[in-house]
Structure 1
């Protein structure tokens, strides 16, 4: 079973994303910030998929993406940056840090499924 770590400071986003992702057959954990994510990774290892919230006024998102990418050392870790709008500067920083792709908030089940489906194992994608 693939694991997914959701990192977002908004409790409602963590709850909704976790609920939806569980329906896709993922083992889901969620944390509120980059520091909690680092602690979770230290205790559990890297997830298969990480959804990391990022905003233009805070460098924590791109820094966490960079840290996770370095920890992954070439493994198949998928890091999806969760952003509110198509901010080119933020998107560039996230991509340079190692983000695989982007997810736009707010999202619903269908939107989240379309963004994450390419990264699901075949049994979970059904």
Structure 2
């Protein structure tokens, strides 16, 4: 499921190993007018960013069992820069995991499973227009 990146559109990259999560998020975000792409593994995102540029928003699945996700997020954050907003999709409020994710560059969290309202609420702060500099 790929949409071409349009410079005027907000871009969102979804990374999750669960096909149903990628499919639901893709459908909901595409309906909101975002340019959306999905990947199964964070390792695929390095090449994606090299060829497409950094997305405005990165939604990435994370769990305490995944021992590489924190390192993956650090790498993607370094590659993409501070302009990319990172939202970690997690199943439970695990303080240790959330702290490590925050240190790696995660801006906020979205609990799985999510519905349209929860997804929109997590994205809203990152979709606001940048304040004009006088």
Give unpaired runs (5+ residues) of structure 1. Answer: none
Identify, as 1 or 2, the structure richer in helix: 1
- Match status 1:53 vs 2:61: yes
- Structure 1 vs Structure 2 CA RMSD: 1.2
Which residue, 109, 114, 119 being the options, matches 1:107? 114
Please show how residues 2-41 of structure 1 align to structure 2 within 5 Å: 2-41=10-49
**Which one has more relative contact order, counting CA pairs under 8 Å at least 6 apart?**
1
Work out the number of aligned pairs and report it.
121
List, as ranges, runs of 4+ consecutive aligned residues in structure 1 with deviation greater than 4 Å.
none
TM-score w.r.t. the length of structure 2 is: 0.85
TM-score w.r.t. the length of structure 1 is: 0.90
Q: Is the 2:45–2:76 contact (alpha carbons within 8 Å) kept by the matching residues of 1?
A: no
* Structure with the greater alpha carbon radius of gyration: 2
